[in-house]
Amino acid sequence: MQRTEPQNYLIQGIDPIQLTEQFGSPLYVYDGGTIRRKVAELLHAFAGINMKIKYACKANTNLAVLKLMREIGVELDVVSPGELEMGKLAGYNASQITFTPSGVPFEEVREAVETGAIVNVDSLPLLEWFGQTYGNTKPCLIRIKPNVAAGGNIKIMTAHADSKFGISVLLLDQILEVVKKYDIKIIGLHQHTGSDIKDAEPFLKVADILFETAKHFPHLEIIDLGGGFKVSYLPGDAITDMDLLGEKISERFKTFCKEYGRELQLWFEPGKFLVSESGYLLVKTTVVKEDPARNFVHVDSGLNHLIRPMMYGSYHHILNLSNPDGALKSYNVVGYICETDTFASDRELPEVRKDDILAFLNAGAYGFTMSSNYNARLRPAEVLIDNGQARLVRRRETLEDLLQTQLGM
Ligand SMILES: *Cc1c(COP(=O)(O)O)cnc(C)c1O
């Protein structure tokens, strides 16, 4: 499968440079066509079983993206009351939303349950509280920590023994004791292994652990295998072969359902897989500095807008939209934040000149949602291109937005 790249640097026939002229720079642009294609890919891979997609919306919570997901039949996984509220604003029923907290105040869980969302219980103390509070009147899922290490790097693994997430599978006896004590209605088992997982093997391994654990819970309706499918970052990059993964997991799931004695639903919670490749961060070059050690390209953005390279060393392919046929030269592409703020080191790019427009690829997931106002910088606008139309779906921030909460004058 090929990495997506705007063909001749057009997105659905729209010239990204023209978008920066219209809406300014820097600018986040999302291609709705890519989102639709990724959803279709996942549905196709699991066509033979009862599978539901719960988009892990921390990847991108623009309301227009959430609405698009809802329109194409994708439900939601949220990790905070704020995300839950955004889901409802996008038109979701609370019953279509799963709340997967990580050690949050129990009041947040109460709010979610009372609004009608389903909760993934992630600790024994929360399970105890859930039982005390609701007895058998409200269903929930349990987030199991299977003690499997998988994912792109240690910072984005979430299921190894040292991870903070979920209840260790080794504590099964204690889980069962609490469930029995309060007669808690456990309708599903959940786990999320980590991010950037390429092969089917880790999914099968944790699936087997959940299937084994499931035998102790007679009222299950759902097995939730989380998210974490790897996407393509580089031309020719190895990515999750969805059809193969779907075939292998579906087969194992069908066998499990037979043994369990009932047809269950299989849930996935992809974030990155659905939106990463749809997004572009467009920036303008401000200074090209030919230093004796390195050529530096400075841009009108920084880790305040896209923190992934500095936070966990992620790779973002860069296109020089303004000079695609220029002679290749090596650059460090850096941001304007007064910290080490490097988007790319020793990157070959067609010759970069002042005021060129560069596009960072794979900016649709964990881009805008992880952005900040560090250095009193303002966040970019966002544009969604869908059905051949570009639409501004978030205006650029102003200084007033930034000052709104300050009371110290
Ligand atoms: C972040 C998260 C996901 C999505 O991970 P991706 O790597 O973006 O697919 C899924 N489930 C839970 C519980 C998460 O916290």
5 pLDDT band, cuts 50/70/90, is low
Global model pTM greater than 0.75? yes
2 pLDDT band, cuts 50/70/90, is very low
- The yes-or-no verdict on residue 41 having pLDDT over 60 is yes
How many beta carbons lie within 10 A of that of residue 291, not counting itself? 8
pLDDT of residue 238: 75
Averaged pLDDT of the chain: 94
Instruction: Determine whether the annotation assigns residue 339 to a binding site.
Output: yes
pLDDT of residue 6: 58
231 pLDDT band, cuts 50/70/90, is confident
Lowest mean pLDDT among 1-15, 151-165, 197-211, 285-299: 1-15
Which residues have C-beta atoms less than 6 Å from ligand 1? 56, 58-59, 77, 79, 100, 192, 195, 226-228, 269-273, 365
100, 144, 276: which to mutate for ligand 1, most atoms within 8 A of CB? Answer: 100
Domains of the chain (ranges; CATH) run 16-29+276-403 (2.40.37.10), 101-268 (3.20.20.10)
192, 232, 242, 362: which to mutate for ligand 1, most atoms within 8 A of CB? Answer: 192
247 pLDDT band, cuts 50/70/90, is very high
Distance 219 CA to ligand 1 centre (A): 25
- Clarify whether 257 is annotated catalytic: no
Distance 193 CA to ligand 1 centre (A): 9
Reply yes or no: is the peptide bond before residue 26 cis, omega within 30 of 0: yes
193 pLDDT band, cuts 50/70/90, is confident
pLDDT of residue 7: 57
- The yes-or-no verdict on residue 86 having pLDDT over 70 is yes
pLDDT of residue 199: 82
**What percent of the chain lies above the pLDDT cut of 70?**
98
Distance 270 CA to ligand 1 centre (A): 6
Instruction: Determine whether the annotation assigns residue 269 to a binding site.
Output: no
Lowest mean pLDDT among 230-239, 303-312, 324-333, 364-373: 230-239
- Average pLDDT estimate for 294-318: 97
- The yes-or-no verdict on residue 311 having pLDDT over 50 is yes
Quick: pLDDT tens for 124-173. 999 999 999 999 999 999 999 988 777 777 777 777 878 888 999 999 99
Catalytic residue among 57, 140, 257, 338: 338
